[in-house]
Each structure stands twice: as structure tokens, then as C-alpha cells.
């Protein structure tokens, strides 16, 4: 199974594509592609979102994932931020819809549960689990890419249990 994980953001959007190995044991996957799309408030909203769309679309075309997974976002007293992160996710959703790729979303506790085994694991434990599952010598960087890969692996975990969570 190929999964595209997305860490949504308007200044930094992480994209990670993994190929998940079959079998019922520990989750094993390898990294097919990782990038962080960076945009600036100087370039205008449509340009920012249009560029995000193009990168997501390119990743979908190059790797033909069977699922796209995003982390659910929680915003506390940050409406402005929520709105702009929403723009970025809108572009992701347009690209997924055009390619017919189903979209899934998991909350931070579900990520921790899937990758570490309990919902209150520290961030470092998640990073270690991502590194282990992907067989990497070092933790993926930057953090936006690590988050995108974590969410892709999380989808693989729940899909294997027939507990995938459509957005």
C-alpha cells in the first residue's frame, strides 16, 4: 500500500509518501518521497495555495498512492491560523478529488496510539517509531516532513485493522 501523508500548513506543508509492506507484524514501510512546500505571505494567497496544489498533484501523479492522510488540526484561539491552514488543506482536497484518491484524517492521540502504543507518548517516541518503521538511520527532518510521514504510517496502521477514518 502506498500512502501520501500530509502535514497541512500555509507556510510549511509536509508531504511524505511511503510504501507499506504487507504482513501482520510490526509496521514496516519505506520512504518513496518527502518534501516540504514553503510559501511566503509576500507572494499572495492564490499563488501560495496554487503552488501547494501543484506539489500535491505532482506527488499524487508520481506515486499514485491509494490513500491520502492528514492530521486533524486543533486550534486554540487561533482563528486566523485555522483559516489559512484551511486554505492549504483545500488545495490538498482539490488535488485528491481530481485524482480520485480517498482522504483520511487522524488526531494526535490516534497517531501516538498507532505508532507508539499509547495515546500520551512524547513527541520523541513518535519520531523514534517513524524512524524505526521506515528503517532510517536518522529521524526524518524537518519536523513537517516527520509529521507527514507519521500520519501516513498511522493511516497504514488503521487501514490494516479496517479502522481507517475518512475525512
Indicate which single residue of 11, 102, 131, 164 sits in contact with a copy of itself (rule: CB under 8 A). 102
The contact pattern for a copy of itself, residues 49-88, with x = CB under 8 A and - = no contact, is xx--x-------------------xxxxxxxx-xxxxxxx
Indicate which single residue of 4, 7, 95, 105 sits in contact with Mg ion (rule: CB under 5 A). 7
By beta-carbon proximity to Mg ion, the closer residue of 112 and 144 is 144
Extract the annotated binding site for Mg(2+): 7, 71, 144
* Among candidate residues 145, 155, 150, the one with its CA nearest the CA of residue 15: 145
Identify which range of 37-45, 109-117, 124-132, 142-150 contacts Mg ion by CB under 5 A: 142-150
96 sits near a copy of itself (criterion: CB under 8 A): yes
Shortest distance, CB of residue 12 to a copy of itself, whole angstroms? 16
Is there a catalytic annotation at residue 144? yes
Chain positions contacting Mg ion, by CB under 5 A = 7, 144, 147
Amino acid at each position: 500500500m502506498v500512502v501520501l501523508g500530509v502535514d497541512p500548513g500555509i507556510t510549511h506543508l509536509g508531504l511524505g509518501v511511503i510504501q507499506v509492506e504487507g504482513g501482520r507484524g510490526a509496521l514496516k514501510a519505506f520512504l518513496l518521497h518527502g518534501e516540504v512546500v514553503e510559501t511566503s505571505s509576500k507572494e499572495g494567497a492564490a499563488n501560495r495555495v496554487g503552488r501547494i496544489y501543484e506539489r500535491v498533484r505532482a506527488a499524487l501523479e508520481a506515486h499514485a498512492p491509494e490513500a491520502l492522510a492528514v492530521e486533524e488540526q486543533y486550534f486554540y484561539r487561533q482563528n486566523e491560523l485555522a483559516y489559512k491552514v484551511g486554505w492549504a488543506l483545500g488545495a490538498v482536497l482539490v488535488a485528491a478529488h481530481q485524482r480520485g484518491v480517498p482522504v483520511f484524517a487522524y488526531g494526535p492521540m490516534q497517531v501516538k496510539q498507532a505508532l507508539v502504543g499509547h495515546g500520551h507518548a512524547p513527541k520523541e517516541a513518535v519520531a523514534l517509531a517513524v524512524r524505526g518503521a521506515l528503517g532510517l538511520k536518522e529521524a526524518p527532518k524537518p519536523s513537517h516532513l516527520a509529521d507527514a510521514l507519521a500520519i501516513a504510517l498511522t493511516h497504514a496502521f488503521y487501514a490494516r485493522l479496517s479502522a481507517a477514518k475518512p475525512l
